[in-house]
Amino acid sequence: MRAALALVCLSSPLLLTPLVASAQEEDEPQRPWYQQGAEPDAAPPEEGDGDADEDTAPAPREPGVPPQATIYEPPAGADPQTPGGGGDAPAQRLEEGRTPEDGEADETEEEEADEDPDAHRGDFYFGSYGRIIAASDLDGRLGRQSRLTAWAPRVDEDDTYAEIELRREDHFAGMDTQIVATVAFGGPLFHFDGEFDEVIAIRNLFAEVRHLLTPGLAVWAGSRMWRGDDVYLYNFWPLDNLNMVGGGLRYALDDIGELSVAVGLSQPNDPFQRQEVLVPARSGFTPETVLFLDRPRLVTAGKLTWWPFGRFAGDGMKAILYGEGHYLPSGRREDEEGFIEQLPDDAGWVVGAQLGGYLTSSRTFANLFVRYARGLGAYDPLGVPFQEGSVIQTGRAEEFRVALSANWEHDFLGLQVGAYYRWFRDADPNIFDRAALSEGSINARPMIWFGRFVGVAVDLSYSGIARSAINEATGGPEGGNVFKLGVVPFVSPFGRGTYTRPHLRVIYSLTVRDDDARALYPALDPRSANHVEHFLGIGVEWWFASSSYGS
């Protein structure tokens, strides 16, 4: 009897505890999503602040403003337009509603200094970039982007594209490692064709080791997007934009410079570089397939970056010298009549430079790019210089580019600017070749915010092109001009900023073409008859913690 009574007495607190806790939870008001898991009035300590005073009252938080720990800030280099981007610092992962663990705020700087630098630390990270759009031309058809030049203003872009990245980062023995896998999905979505066969590509699949043997030295190998800063308004990397399978190394020169080199291969599935032919079987009656032409393009690249005021200065400048080398070995292929054709080896090169400046406090920057390519370097490594014809070497081809990207922000105002000019001459000696052209475009996008989370952008652009080819319909040189006016109201849940994402948008764009631009379209294409075209859509764009948009 006594044992039973003692058991009841001991178990009573355990039975009552959930009931008391449940009653307390019922009395506590429901918190917004961004405050769940955090103290309602406590702001998380500043990063690296290990000397927080327990007796100090927490700073009040403005009603309706998420705590800082809920805001995903892209790592340095994740945003191609982040001033000073492209660094080696691993991505910062901030969790929604995360607050310091018990005792975490009491850690002192001395305790942090005593941590073993060779101790293993590691974690998984998730990042993504994406854009989705559904649009109409207000005439019963789907909305389509008006493209006149190679890189068109993207206010009315109609393609769906997304990247999903999983990354493992570790630190041990004084080194930092990362393994990156980025899967890309291209449209159209099955909603527009009824087929579950989306386009999937592996954009990144590589491993990198930093601080190998000496501080500042990094090596990598695998499949990688190797590129730097872009012109956002055109979705365009004017200086360096390579997709290669290979490897490279990078060495940071203290706080003022960095040298990067890379080498890789590429081979489009085209008879100019790869051809399979059928031959009689050695036994049996079924022909065998033989890889007859197999000549991948070898690409080497180097980039030297200099920060005159220091790499991590809040307000500073950077200058870049860039170069590429391209080589294609000789080979043989079989033509349609069964004759063997000799393909000579080919080569080319690229030289370029970039000059930029940035003011971090006002999120202001400007980048100027210049690039000249000759021979094989004038063609994309994943492109094919010649589909057919007697010209099979690229020595005469050349391309010149100059581009500008800039950004300015002040309080509730913002402005993005992009522009470029391109001159291209094909290897064909015919002066009336269709691929001899000059083109350019300029785009400005002012923004205004109404409060913290809602704003409107106005997009103004002009694009023009002139070709040496004769238009058979008009009898004059091919060319044309296009004007665009776009109005884009948007919601930005993470607050103000021209590069703050995600953006949920309603997009209206008006395109005006001149007669020469309309003449570039086939007769049955509605754009050949329309001087004016409308585009109305709903879209979203996001990015966070992605390593695809840095050096």
DSSP labels, 173-215: TTEEEEEEEEEEEES--GGGTS-S--EEEEEEEEEEEES-SST
* 17 falls within a domain: no
* 432 falls within a domain: yes
Which pLDDT belongs to residue 114?
A: 57
Residue 355: which CATH number?
A: 2.40.170.10
Which pLDDT belongs to residue 98?
A: 42
Which pLDDT belongs to residue 196?
A: 85
* 242 falls within a domain: yes
Which pLDDT belongs to residue 48?
A: 40
Give bridge partners of residue 366 from the DSSP assignment: 357, 406
- Residue 397 buriedness (CB in 10 A; 0-12 / 13-18 / 19+): buried
* 355 falls within a domain: yes
Which pLDDT belongs to residue 97?
A: 38
- If we measure between CA atoms, which residue out of 306, 304, 307 comes closest to residue 323? 304
Q: Which helix (H) or strand (E) holds 15?
A: helix 2-27
Torsion of CA 183, 187, 192, 198, to 10 degrees: -40
* 26 falls within a domain: no
- If we measure between CA atoms, which residue out of 412, 375, 377 comes closest to residue 391? 375
Domain count, the chain: 1
Domain, as residue range, for 268: 125-544
* 357 falls within a domain: yes
* 301 falls within a domain: yes
- If we measure between CA atoms, which residue out of 395, 400, 345, 393 comes closest to residue 375? 395
Which pLDDT belongs to residue 285?
A: 81
The rounded average pLDDT for each run of 10 residues, N- to C-terminus, in the chain (551 residues) is: 42 40 40 36 40 41 39 39 38 40 50 68 94 95 94 94 95 94 92 86 96 95 94 96 95 94 94 88 85 94 96 93 96 86 93 96 95 95 72 85 97 97 87 77 98 97 92 83 98 95 97 93 88 96 81 35
How many other CB atoms are found less than 10 A from the CB of residue 542? 17
Which pLDDT belongs to residue 110?
A: 52
* 523 falls within a domain: yes
CA distance 153 to 234: 5
